[in-house]
């Protein structure tokens, strides 16, 4: 059995598409902004990890008796953040630490860009740490230790 639609039935459905679009558009826009926010957080995390690794490389290659490794490592890490993405990772700070006298670490902390304007109190803090043992030369003949 086929249903015949009259002109009066079709007039009752005018504007339905516009109403559906008006109801769905905020959901679609929120999903798109969330995807962009996650992508910017991920990219900011990559910048922080790269900066921490470069700072740790400087810290690990400095001699044991050098007291200037902390300044050089933090300067290198903050320089990397400024070179790669100063707007991707705002308020970036680099700190150094030693687990043992022969292990050095650099931690980079900052905030990711915020795209969702409705949540001003929500911050996306990123922290990345890199480090390892201090590199040194030890002679084969059983000579002195690095310290």
Q: How far apart are CA 80 and CA 36, in angstroms?
A: 23
Q: How far apart are CA 109 and CA 79, in angstroms?
A: 14
Across the chain, which has 147 residues, the per-10-residue mean pLDDT values are 64 77 89 89 93 93 79 93 87 89 90 78 87 78 61
pLDDT score recorded for residue 18: 83
pLDDT score recorded for residue 123: 80
* Domain that residue 82 falls in: 17-133
Does some domain include residue 144? no
pLDDT score recorded for residue 98: 86
Does some domain include residue 108? yes
Does some domain include residue 59? yes
Q: Which of 98, 80, 96 is nearest to 134 (CA)?
A: 98
What is the domain count for the chain?
1
pLDDT score recorded for residue 88: 85
Mapped to the 3 state alphabet, what secondary structure does 97-110 carry? EEEECCEEEEEEEE
pTM here is 0.76
Q: How far apart are CA 55 and CA 96, in angstroms?
A: 9
pLDDT score recorded for residue 120: 67
Strands 103-112 and 89-100, by their bridges, are antiparallel
């Amino acid at each position: 059995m086929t249903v015949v639609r009259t002109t009066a039935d079709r007039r009752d459905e005018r504007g339905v598409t516009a109403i559906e679009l008006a109801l769905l558009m905020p959901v679609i826009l929120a999903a798109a902004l969330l995807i962009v926010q996650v992508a910017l957080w991920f990219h900011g995390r990559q910048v922080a990890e790269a900066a921490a690794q470069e700072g740790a490389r400087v810290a690990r290659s400095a001699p044991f008796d050098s007291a200037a490794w902390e300044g050089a490592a933090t300067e290198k890490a903050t320089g990397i953040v400024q070179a790669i993405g100063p707007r991707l990772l705002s308020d970036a700070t680099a700190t150094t630490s030693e687990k043992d006298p022969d292990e050095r670490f650099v931690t980079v902390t900052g905030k990711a860009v915020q795209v969702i304007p409705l949540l001003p109190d929500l911050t996306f803090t990123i922290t990345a740490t890199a480090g390892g043992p201090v590199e040194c030369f030890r002679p084969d003949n059983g000579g002195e230790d690095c310290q």
